[in-house]
Each structure stands twice: as C-alpha cells, then as structure tokens.
Structure 1
Amino acid sequence: MNRIALPHPSPTALRTLQDRLARSALAEESRVRQPAPFVTWFADARERSGLRVDRVDLDGLENWERDPRTGALRHSSGGFFAIDGLDVRFPSGPVPHWQQPIIHQPEVGVLGLLAKEFDGVLHFLMQAKVEPGNRNHLQLSPTVQATRSNYLRLHKGRAVPYLGYFQERTRHRVVADVLQSEQGAWFYRKRNRNIVIEVTEDIAVEEDFRWMTLGEIHRLLAVEDIVNMDTRTTLSCLPLAGGGLDVLLDTGDGFRDALARSCAGEPGGVHDVDELQSWITEHRAQNDLTTRPVPLVELRDWHSSPERVSHTSGRFFSVIGVNVSAGTREVRGWSQPMLEPHGTGVIAVLVKQIDGVLHILLRASVEPGYVDGVELSPTVQFTPESVPPGAALPRFVDDVLSAPPERTRFACLLSEEGGRFHHALNRYLVVEAEGDAESMEDRDFRWVTLDQLSTLLRHSHYLNVQARTLVACLHSLLAPRRPGGEALGL
C-alpha cells in the first residue's frame, strides 16, 4: 500500500494547531504501541459489553412514571429526560400546524475528546461504547459522552472515566469548546458541550479506550455504523482549516485540491462570512415558528397506549420502551423510553467546484427544537417513508438520488445518537452538483466553503447535527481514499 510521507516534526513544520491537525489527518496508523489491532480490540469490547436490549411496554418501565394528567413520561429521579407533547405553528412553512411528542432534556451534556501528541502526531482517545439504540450495539465514541445526570451519578452507578479533564480545563490546552444542538425535530432545545482538550501528561488507558489519529478515525467514517454521532459532531468542531493543509494542494486530484482550498480559505468563497451571518440572522428575525407544550395524551393524530405512542398514519416515529443490561456501562441495567424512527433517512450535500474551490450548498432550515429557530442544514434532509402520499419532495432530491456513482464522493449508512433513538439510520451522501451554481441559490440556499463553516462552528447553533456530520465526512476525504473497514477486518 502506498503511504503518504509525513514530514519530520519540527517547531517550524508544526507551528500551528491547523498544521498539527492536518498532519494527524494524514497519519494512517497510530504512533502508539497498541496491545491489539483495532479489529481485535473492537471485537473484544463488543464481547465484554454483554449488551441486551428488550422491548417492553411504556407502562412497564422501571423508575419511569406517566403523568396522570398529561401522560408525559418522566424519570422518578427528576433527571435524565422526559417525553412531552408539543404544539407547533409555522404559518410560512410547508405544514402550517402540527403536534408531536418531543424529548425534553434541558441539561447540557459533555461530548469530550482528549488529544495528546505521540511521535509528533496528534492522537485522540476514543472509546468503544455500547448504546441501547445502536443497531450494532457498539460504536466508536468520544472519550467522554455523558449527560449531566450521568456525571452527577443520579443512576447510582460508576463514575464517568476521564471526566475530570473536562471539568478542570485550566491545566490543559482547550482546542475547541462550543455548545451545539442535537436533532431539532426530536429534541426540544437540547444542547451538548463539544469540547476537545489537549494534554501532555501520561494517561492510563482503560481497556475500552484507544489512542487514534484523525486519519484512522476518518477511514472508519466510510464504514457503516462504526463512528457514532457524538464523535462526528465533536470532530466537526476541530479547526481543520487554514494553512496547515498546504501539503494537500496541487496533488493532481482535482476534487481533493478543490476540497483542500475550501478548507484553507484561499481564495475566498462566493460569499464572505459576514454575508452568510447576515443571511442567517435575517432568517432568524423573520422566522414565524412558535411552539407551546400540550399534554402527550391529547396530541392530535397521535395514539397513546400502554405499549407505545405512535402517529395514526404509521409515519414519522414512535415512542417505545426498552429494558437494557450492559456489563461495561456505568450502571449495569436500566429502563428507558426511546424514539424509534419509521424509515431510513437521506441526508446529503451537493458540492461544486467554483473558481477551483469546493463549495457546499447548505439550507437555512427551521425545526421546532432549535434554540435560535434556524440552523444550517444539509442540502437534502428527509425520510422518504415520512412523506405523505402526493406531497412534494424537498428541492434537490432528484439531483442527489439520481447522481451517477462518479459524482457521489461519499456514501455511508450511519446511526444517530443511540442513547435516545432506536435504530435511527440515515444514508449520508456527498454529491457533486451539475448545472449552474448561481441558479441553485435562492432565499433558503447558499454556497459556503469549509473554511467558512469552520469559522461558524466556533459559535453555537449555526450548523445542525446532520450538517456537522457531513463536515466531518468531507474532512475525511482530504486524504487519499484507502480501504476502510475491509482493511481492518470489519
């Protein structure tokens, strides 16, 4: 196998964080002596986990209560999360009024990555973690992935490993630290702290943890259901942009060269960042979506039973109950409600080389759970099974679904967050667009560069979680494509 020759590290070559991140992205193998190859380590973690998930009635969930008046589902501790009802009015939207269940989790969780340099290359401490909603149970998680209720140990279980590094940040270098949203269609104003901390001290590595380079993680992004949603959103917040990517320019691969220029920020984009921020602010100022809580048992077009809560049409999602046992989690057994989507989603961005720079077509979208009402979403974000008969499909669906293989630069089936969603699967796509770039823009769509997205991602609530996943996927295309799971035996 041909490998990229990395320059020998020196203070000049590694003068900026961007340089160091680029070097890590090009490193296909860890510089850390590992006790076992990745595939062996991952398989051993799966076997140790002993995860079992059994479907149960909502009325049979231990330590969960249904409000006798509203039907809302709440944990007896008062922590974790609740399932409530929401009334949504959106006069200017395609559906002006609807009602739905929604997850209410006001506490801020921690999605934390520890970084450390080995042999001149940044590595990240990854965790093999099971979640009850993961179709394959085990996925690659950040170092810390915990709600406030988890790390306050309301479950009376074990402490969260490595949490202290993110609570005592002043002793270490903060690489990224920003509050970001989760799914605005399913969570009500949910936020997580996406934080990356670089350490220099030695760290004892527990058996379900492993140091990995960005290049190793990026390769696994192309493998179905391995890199979890929380890893993807945290990776997207890394400032993989600027001059550190000069080594990737003029490689002879036109797409990769355009992608590297998009990250490097030179030359600039079709719009500057100030224009883009003004465009988003305008959407937020004119947004007419309003929400109010309503009793879960009184939701129009939803049926609430002892077993589940589901839409009368059979579309969208259901609220179900599960009993969980797991040997490697902080607590060995628990019960909880989960949202179970009906169908596999399609989440895609159209990309285009404009003056030699790759641009990404994003949409200013409205969802009822967003804190600021409007966030940037992928070009296409929908679930075909949830579209009512005769309803119009979202714009650009045909451009994405009918694209020939040579224009599809990334395609992989990935899971959403397995702690709240049961088998929530989406097919993520990066597709090169045909046609005139200017004609694809309208009030809701704009072309942006990855450098501009990196700037926006330093701030909260500009990109939704699906767009952040696709930023991570685009970053994974910077290095030459290598076999992903096949080479690792997955």
Structure 2
Amino acid sequence: MADVTARIARSAAAVESPRTDLAGFDDWFAEYGEQIYTTAERIPLAALDQWYQTPVTGDLRHRSGKFFTVHGLRVHDPSNAVPWWDQPIIDQPEVGILGILIKEFDGVPHFLMQAKAEPGNPGGLQLSPTVQATRSNYTGVHKGKPVPYVDYFRDTSRHRVLADVRQSEQGAWFYRKRNRNMVVETTTEVEVLEGFRWFTLGQLYRLLSRDDIINMDARTVLACLPHAARPDGALHGMTDVLSWIAGARSLASVHTERIALNALDEWRHGEMGYAHESGGFFDVIGVSVTAAGREVGTWRQPMIEPRGTGVIAFLTREIGGEPHVLLHARTEPGYADVVELAPTVQCVPDSYAWLPPAARPRHLDEVLAAGPERIRYEAVLSEEGGRFFHARNRYLIVDSDVPEDPGHPDYRWLTMDQLTQLLRHSHYLNVQARSLVACWRALRAADSTG
C-alpha cells in the first residue's frame, strides 16, 4: 500500500495537468451546463404519477417497489434534551455505488469525474464521482440509458481496488442508508465520454475550496482514499478510540419505531407535502423533474427540503505538536449502528428557535463567533441532490483552544491519521465528517503547495 499512498500524494501535489486546465475549467463547466441540466418544479404529492400513498399509512412508495419509501419514524431518546419526537424519513434499503475511476498519466494518478446535474442541486452542475447510482438505476429499473463506467465497479477482477467500503449517509433523513464507496484504478484504455474529465487530486482539492462544485458523493469517496500514516503523536491510542466508540454505542438509549406517515405527531399534511407545525426542520415535497443529459429525461419524485442553512465544523488544535480535530460521538435515528463520529458541530442553527435551550449544540457559539483569523477553511457545500432539495451547509475548519479534556464524554480529540484508519471500515465516520476530512486534506495540500 506504500506505493499507492505515495502516488496519491503525488497526485495531491499536482495542480497542473495536460488533461485538464483549471484556468479553463469555468468555461467548460458553464458551456456544458447549458447542455446538461435539471429543472425541478414543486407539485402536489398526489401528482407524483409513479408514486402512491398507501391507503392505510399514507407512506410514499414507488409503483415498481424499488427506489425508496418515505414513512414515519417515532424516536425515543431519554438522554436527549428532546426525549422523543416523530418525523418523516427516507427508507432506501438497496446499496448503491459511488465510485471514482483512477488512471495514471505521465506518472500522476488522475481521477475521472462527471459534471452531473441533480434536481436538488442549488446551482445546476456539480462534479460527481465517475459512477453515482442506486442499484435501481444501474440495474435498469428506470428503463433509461445504461450507467456509464459502472462495469469497472461491478467487476473489479481486471483492475486494482484502492478503496471499497460501505458508508452511511444522513442519519437524520435516511433510515439505515448505505452506499458502497469505491476507488478503482485501471491500466486499460478508457474512452472519455461527454461530460467526463480527468483531474489530478490536487485540482479537485483546489475546486473543493469553492462553493457547490464538488458534490457530496464525490467528497465521501475522496475521504476514503488511502493516505500515508503520519508520526504517532495522537492524544489517544487507537485501541482507546475504538473502546470509546464501542462504549458510546453500548450505552446509547435510542429506540426507533416505524409508524404511519399520516400518523406523525406535530406534522401537518397538506396538498404540497408534509411540514412541521413549528415551520422549522424540513419539509417533504413533491417535484416534477425535466432533465437533459440524464439516463431518464423526465420523472417525478418526493424530496426532503431543509429549512435553513446548516453549520458543519471541525474545531482543531495542535496537541503535542500534532494537529487534532474534535470529534463528537453522535446518535441519529437512522444510523445502522446507533452512534457514528460526527464533526464538532453539525446542526441547522435556525432549528433551535423551537427547541429547549439544553438542546443547543456544544461549541456552536464558538464556531459562529470565530473571526477570520481562526477560520482555516470555509465553503458552502450542498448535500446529495437526488433526495434533498437545496440542502446546503457552511463547512468550516476553525482553530480552537478547547482543552485536551473537552469536558464531555461524547467529545474526543483525534488525529487525521486516526480518521484515515477508521475510514477503512464501515459506519465509524458519518457523511458530514467524511466531507470535512476531504476539506482538511484539501487545506493541507494547499498549505504544502503554496
């Protein structure tokens, strides 16, 4: 694996390539965006022609029996400042593929990325992995065009697998959702289709500093890349870290119960969807999508639309000469294993207007008050545009003086090397933390290349 991590580092240091010129990226992206686009128009849930609401529960289901279901969830968590609540949640049991294809040119690994439009993207195109497809998509349930390049990931026997791990997605909106995060290297000839382009990792890291360019699925796959280990200067050993996570999972008291979508307490069901009585949190809406350059040209579907822009942040500091980030052992109702490591802060601040003061996240005020001299990374990045409508978060990495003992058992300082080790396995870091790992690596690459 040492040769792989050395070559990954070489790609991270490369910001110029004859395959892609970043100076011309905006022109290519804008020109292609005129050909490849999606438009999403809000429509009543009853107008979702390939979807139906079940007679008794009101759950939203696709007539094929595939894709996903929206049903109700009742959550009991006695240790939480809000000990119980009801909510809609997306149930998508099938495991999709998020895969990036790598090929070496002139001694530098390049990553094949796709300029892809999703109905929930706030600004049109974003760079996605080579393959970003649910099982229903790549097995042809939608009766659309085949998914390009998917065979590299379905049959890896002739290629080299650099990463392959099942990872969760948003545990507040998805019920036990998992996708296969894959990085596969090939030495065969690859036809570059329209809308696809080779990038060095350094170029992708430069683009990650900009708002809404690198999509969520690309960020989570990039986080799973193997990286060289740094000197061992961690505050806590890995055995202690794994014990901490196992203990948090064992002690968690979260209980979830599936309930009818039309039986949710404190949620209103109107013609245009479901909304919380407070006017906060998120809505379930219906959209009619028209697309150019997609496997299917038109479709209708439900989506989740959050109320407000989120804040997702790592607090960071040096401990013993080694950079550490503060992780939160966080429970969410949709996690398959109860607890995953989350960023220091992960929330939508506007939501706390309707919640008790004790629910306000620790360290949120420190992040919101951070001056520019303490903010090392900042970008507004959107979440998965296939299920979420205009879900945007302000991602930050902020220098902090929080003590080595953060004063709460659910928080602990870890090094980036420890996060890299955990990312070789499923369900340790949540999708927001994985995005920030990619952002951290982009920051470090920029520091080293100037």
TM-score (norm 1): 0.89
Kindly report which structure 2 residues correspond to 1:23-422, keeping only aligned pairs within 5 A, or say none.
23-32=10-19, 37-242=24-229, 264=230, 266-387=231-352, 388=354, 391-392=357-358, 393-422=360-389
User: Which deviations, in whole Å up to 9, do the C-alpha atoms of 1:409-467 show, x marking residues without a partner?
Assistant: 001100000000000010000001025322x1421001001111111000000000000
**Pair 1:453–1:50, CA change in 2 (3 A):** closer
**CA-CA distance at 1:293 after TM superposition:** 0.8
**For the Cα contact (< 8 Å) 1:241–1:454, is it kept in 2?**
no
CA distance in 1, matches of 2:159, 2:414: 33
CA distance in 2, matches of 1:448, 1:303: 42
**For the Cα contact (< 8 Å) 2:20–2:197, is it kept in 1?**
no
**For the Cα contact (< 8 Å) 2:50–2:62, is it kept in 1?**
yes
**For the Cα contact (< 8 Å) 2:42–2:285, is it kept in 1?**
yes
| 3-state SS of paired residue (2:296) | coil
In the alignment, which residue of structure 2 is the partner of 1:3?
Answer: none
CA distance in 1, matches of 2:446, 2:377: 13
Q: What count of residue pairs does the alignment treat as equivalent?
A: 448
In the alignment, which residue of structure 2 is the partner of 1:450?
Answer: 416
Aligned partner letter, 2:276? H
Once the two structures are overlaid, the 10-residue window that deviates more, 44-53 or 358-367, is 44-53
**Pair 1:107–1:322, CA change in 2 (3 A):** same
**CA-CA distance at 1:35 after TM superposition:** 12
CA distance in 2, matches of 1:39, 1:162: 25
In the alignment, which residue of structure 2 is the partner of 1:260?
Answer: none
CA distance in 2, matches of 1:372, 1:35: 41
Long gaps (5+) in structure 2:
none
**Among candidates 390, 399, 404, match of residue 432 of structure 1:** 399
**CA-CA distance at 1:15 after TM superposition:** 5.8
Once the two structures are overlaid, the 10-residue window that deviates more, 22-31 or 320-329, is 22-31
**Pair 1:318–1:33, CA change in 2 (3 A):** closer
**CA-CA distance at 1:240 after TM superposition:** 2.1
**Pair 1:423–1:397, CA change in 2 (3 A):** same
**CA-CA distance at 1:167 after TM superposition:** 0.7
**CA-CA distance at 1:403 after TM superposition:** 1.4
CA distance in 2, matches of 1:442, 1:180: 27
| 3-state SS of paired residue (2:143) | coil
User: Which deviations, in whole Å up to 9, do the C-alpha atoms of 1:234-274 show, x marking residues without a partner?
Assistant: 000001232xxxxxxxxxxxxxxxxxxxxx2x132000111
| 3-state SS of paired residue (1:238) | coil
Aligned partner letter, 2:292? G
CA distance in 2, matches of 1:448, 1:34: 36
User: Which deviations, in whole Å up to 9, do the C-alpha atoms of 1:146-180 show, x marking residues without a partner?
Assistant: 00010011110000000000011111100000000
- Using the aligned pairs only, state the percent identity: 55
**CA-CA distance at 1:32 after TM superposition:** 2.4
Cα RMSD between the aligned structures?
A: 1.7
In the alignment, which residue of structure 2 is the partner of 1:475?
Answer: 441
**For the Cα contact (< 8 Å) 2:16–2:22, is it kept in 1?**
no
| 3-state SS of paired residue (2:115) | strand
**For the Cα contact (< 8 Å) 1:441–1:447, is it kept in 2?**
no
CA distance in 2, matches of 1:449, 1:482: 18
| 3-state SS of paired residue (2:145) | coil
| 3-state SS of paired residue (1:362) | strand
Long gaps (5+) in structure 1:
1-13, 243-263, 485-490
Once the two structures are overlaid, the 10-residue window that deviates more, 195-204 or 27-36, is 27-36
**For the Cα contact (< 8 Å) 2:71–2:88, is it kept in 1?**
yes
